[in-house]
């Protein structure tokens, strides 16, 4: 069976790897670079820069740990970006090597569907190639969404793609959007020394997160001296030689060195030949799929951001695996009720399952257990006492429905909640499990015990 995958990001290479493992003849087409947004402009680059910013921030606090460092400590943005580039390059080489070892044929060019059985690829030198396929998996991903009046120029008006390659640390920056990406960059740039203002049209930062977690994060932004303006949007923009002037809907005027637009992602579903396969897109260009990742067209599947689900690399990879299995004749489906997510702000946020406000809106009778980081000896030893672990359970059955954490290593800790939800565990199962001391994970046990006492 010949399978062609359009796009070599997490969803695409996940599909290609699984299909090759199942014995398919796999070709994967990529127009830019393997790894997609996650590896080249998203997850890995930002986390590399976050690690540098956190190291610098920690270094400034060494005296609190009894370490005296003589001399000035300054961030070198060129070296930070160079380190990021080396990490990305290593990962790219790893993916390319993996393709070769699995016999996956990589074609570098712009792919387009001609029919449910045929695609064309335009190479970088302008030449073309046609490829036949028994099955097609579309995994073309997304790109930074643009905002009218704040068109990207890479100098004054930046996208997240530009921000991971900045040549100097701006003295001041306005970030449009307090979602995941905007919040992460706000923490990065503040730690590196920028004066940061976030402008968000919604009533709070991180609207997708649990209300209580969002409130704690907002408090921490204030501690970091990051200004958050909510319920407002940019009305007018004036670019000058060395700054950008903004007028907001609340009547306020700002002047900053740079602006980072972070209002979400636009889907890459145009000009890939969907009409030729009679695939109709929905709102924002979403390709509708069923639980098997099948599109309206027979033998064509779609995975990743373009399916309109949570924009998470690990979810795209899982979707890719499921689509590949179905393309190879297996019968697999996907469940979206237990997908963990991490936000790499300061402090980190980890979440899985239902939020408290969502449960209330759905009329689910719940219990909520909480435990503060400041009570943990390990948190004090590490010097990171800010944080909350929150567990939501069904009041009738005691089954874990959600876990939400803000604090150090939250993105790692939350997987205990993912396992509990996926396995149908009850809070008493967590509470009765011995957790090592001294660890941050003890807090999860304590939060579960808090629920047991309700």
- How does strand 387-394 pair with strand 366-372? antiparallel
* CA separation for the pair 430, 338 (Å, rounded): 17
* Reported pTM: 0.95
204-231 residue pLDDT tens: 999 999 999 999 999 999 999 999 999 9
Q: Where are the alpha helices (DSSP H) in 362-400?
A: 377-382
What is the model's pLDDT at position 241?
87
* CA separation for the pair 330, 22 (Å, rounded): 10
Q: Is the pLDDT of residue 454 over 70?
A: no
What is the model's pLDDT at position 360?
94
* CA separation for the pair 46, 189 (Å, rounded): 11
What is the model's pLDDT at position 32?
94
56-98 residue pLDDT tens: 999 999 999 999 988 889 999 999 999 999 999 999 999 999 9
9-61 residue pLDDT tens: 999 999 999 999 999 999 999 999 999 999 999 999 999 999 999 999 999 99
271-316 residue pLDDT tens: 999 999 999 999 999 999 999 999 999 999 999 999 999 999 999 9
| DSSP state string for 317-357 | HHHHHHHHHHHTT-------SS--EEE-SSS-EEEEE--HH
* pLDDT bucket at 377, cuts 50 / 70 / 90: very high
What is the model's pLDDT at position 330?
94
Give the residue among 355, 452, 357, 446 at the shortest CA–CA distance from 402: 355
Contact 218/204 with Cβ under 8 angstroms?
yes
- Mean pLDDT, the chain, rounded, equals 96
* CA separation for the pair 28, 6 (Å, rounded): 6
Show which residues are catalytic: 437
Token pair 């990743």: residue: 304
């Amino acid at each position: 069976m010949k399978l062609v995958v359009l796009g070599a990001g997490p969803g695409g290479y996940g599909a290609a790897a699984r299909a090759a493992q199942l014995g398919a003849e796999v070709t994967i087409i990529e127009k830019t670079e393997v790894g997609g947004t996650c590896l080249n402009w998203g997850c890995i680059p930002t986390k590399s820069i976050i690690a540098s910013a956190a190291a610098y921030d920690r270094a400034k606090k060494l005296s609190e740990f009894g370490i005296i460092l003589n001399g000035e400590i300054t961030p070198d943005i060129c070296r930070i970006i160079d380190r990021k580039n080396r990490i990305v390059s290593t990962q790219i080489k790893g993916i390319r090597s993996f393709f070769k070892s699995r016999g996956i044929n990589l074609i570098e060019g712009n792919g387009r569907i001609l029919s449910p059985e045929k695609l064309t690829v335009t190479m970088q030198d302008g030449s073309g190639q046609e490829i036949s396929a028994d099955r097609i998996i579309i995994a073309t991903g997304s790109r930074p969404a643009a905002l009218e009046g704040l068109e990207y120029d890479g100098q004054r008006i930046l996208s997240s793609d530009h921000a991971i390659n900045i040549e100097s640390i701006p003295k001041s920056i306005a970030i449009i959007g307090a979602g995941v990406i905007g919040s992460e960059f706000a923490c990065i740039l503040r730690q590196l020394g920028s004066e940061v203002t976030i402008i968000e049209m919604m009533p709070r930062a991180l609207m997708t997160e649990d209300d209580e977690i969002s409130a704690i994060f907002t408090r921490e932004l204030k501690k970091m001296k990051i200004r958050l303006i909510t319920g407002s949007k940019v009305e007018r923009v004036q670019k000058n030689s060395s700054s950008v002037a903004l007028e907001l809907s609340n009547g306020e005027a700002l002047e900053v060195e740079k602006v980072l637009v972070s209002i979400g992602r636009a889907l890459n579903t145009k000009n890939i030949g969907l009409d030729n396969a009679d695939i109709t897109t929905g709102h924002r260009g979403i390709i509708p799929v069923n639980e098997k990742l099948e599109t309206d067209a027979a033998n064509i599947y779609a995975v990743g951001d373009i399916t309109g689900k949570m924009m998470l690399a690990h979810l795209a990879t899982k979707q890719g695996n499921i689509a590949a299995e179905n393309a190879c004749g297996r019968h697999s489906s996907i469940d979206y009720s237990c997908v963990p997510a991490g936000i790499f702000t300061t402090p980190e946020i980890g979440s899985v399952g239902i939020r408290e406000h969502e449960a209330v809106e759905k009329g689910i009778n719940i219990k909520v257990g909480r435990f503060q980081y400041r009570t943990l000896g390990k948190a004090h030893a590490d010097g990171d006492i800010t944080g909350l672990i929150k567990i939501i359970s069904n009041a009738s059955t005691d089954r874990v429905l959600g876990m939400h954490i803000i604090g150090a290593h939250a993105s790692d800790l939350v997987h205990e909640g993912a396992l509990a939800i996926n396995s149908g565990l009850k809070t008493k199962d967590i509470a009765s499990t011995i957790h090592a001391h001294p660890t941050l994970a003890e807090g999860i046990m304590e939060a579960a015990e808090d629920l047991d006492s309700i």
